[in-house]
Amino acid sequence: METLIEWEMEDVVRSCLPELDEIEAEFVQECWLREPKVPLKKFSEKWHISAKEMADLKGRVLVRLRELLAKQGIESMADLV
């Protein structure tokens, strides 16, 4: 059951990627969805961003995803069950 919810959540998150900025979408794909996951340090080096910018990016992505998921009526994992 847990695996099915994880897959469904991944599909829902992937559906939000086109709504994100390029760097935000790439961050979600490389650091959260893909296996193996890219370490944050390696991602920041690839995009030439500082630790502060990386922290801002992580926070911004979480807020944007929460807003996009809410538009789809998903506010918690319970909404997927």
- CA distances to 3, 29, 40, 71, 72 from 44, in Å: 30, 14, 6, 29, 30
- Amino acid 20: pLDDT: 96
Question: What pTM did the predictor assign?
Answer: 0.84
**Choices 3.40.190, 1.10.4030, 2.60.40, 1.10.10: CATH for 2-80:** 1.10.10
pLDDT above 90: residue 6: no
Q: Could you tell me the residue ranges of all domains in the chain?
A: 2-80
Helix 51-71 / helix 2-16 crossing angle, nearest 10 deg:
100
Tell me the pLDDT tens digit for each residue of 44-78: 999 999 999 999 999 999 999 999 999 988 887 67
pLDDT at 81: 60
**Residue 26 pLDDT > 70, yes or no?**
yes
